[in-house]
Amino acid sequence: MAASVIIVENSEIIRKGMVDILQGSGLFDRIRELSCAANMMEMVSRYQPDVLFINPSMIDGQYRTQLVNGTGHTPKLAAIIYSFHDEALMDAFDEVFPINDSRPRIIKKLNALVKKETRGKTNPDNRLTPREIAVLKLLVKGHSNKEVSGKLFISTHTVISHRKNIIRKLNIKSIAGLTVYAILNGILGIDELE
């Protein structure tokens, strides 16, 4: 089933590049572009897209809430990334697309994203955010809180808070149990384990 998408990105080079990849993926039958965030709310409520691509530097962290409350429709949120953004903001996204991702990788992520249930519809609290998944992946590979903090450029305090959230959401406490979870959900490949 084809889906619709809106891209909000002020760089024309990047926006057109993304449009090209989206068209090539065959996943979307309707692609709309916006070069500034001003009309975004109106567009989302009018066209009810399945996916909304946004450059996070164009919005603030409250945007997701605004989106839900303002339009009555929640698209999946995808971030187009080429600079650093604050963590709380990144947690609002369902998927992250750094601009140096290869085309096959982007298409793979798109596929997963389109199939994914919307957060708002199922169990809003228990889905891991991309950031939590990144933390989980490093933890089950055997890295300490401190090592994870170094690798992801976040404070150990933040790592611990992610860790608590992961445990709360999954209801799995031991690292051994989390490892099984990570493999079951494709977060970690068997070959990635030492």
Between residues 2 and 193, which has the closer beta carbon with respect to other proteins?
193
Interaction of residue 184 with other proteins, rule CB under 8 A: yes
Nearest-angstrom CA–CA distance, 18 and 12: 10
Q: Which of 137, 132, 138, 142 is nearest to 163 (CA)?
A: 132
Residue found under tokens 């933890």: 139
Interaction of residue 83 with other proteins, rule CB under 8 A: no
The count of other CB atoms within 10 Å of the CB of residue 33 is 16
Q: Rounded to 5 degrees, what are φ and ψ at 175?
A: -60, -40
Between residues 59 and 187, which has the closer beta carbon with respect to other proteins?
187
Q: How far is the CB of 181 from other proteins (least distance, A)?
A: 5
Q: How far is the CB of 51 from other proteins (least distance, A)?
A: 25
Among 69, 83, 100, 171, binds other proteins (CB under 8 A): 171
Interaction of residue 177 with other proteins, rule CB under 8 A: yes
Q: How far is Cα of residue 105 from the mean position of the Cα atoms in its chain?
A: 14
Q: How far is CA 148 from CA 25, 121, 142, 156, 160, in A?
A: 34, 31, 10, 8, 10
Stretch of residues binding other proteins (CB under 8 A), selected from 5-13, 71-79, 97-105, 180-188: 180-188
With beta carbons less than 8 A apart as the criterion, state whether 22 and 28 touch: yes
Between residues 152 and 183, which has the closer beta carbon with respect to other proteins?
183
Amino acid at 58: M
Between residues 68 and 172, which has the closer beta carbon with respect to other proteins?
172
Among 23, 111, 185, 192, binds other proteins (CB under 8 A): 185
Nearest-angstrom CA–CA distance, 84 and 38: 22
Interaction of residue 144 with other proteins, rule CB under 8 A: no
Interaction of residue 190 with other proteins, rule CB under 8 A: yes
Residues lying near other proteins in the complex (CB under 8 A): 170-174, 176-177, 179-181, 183-185, 189-190, 193
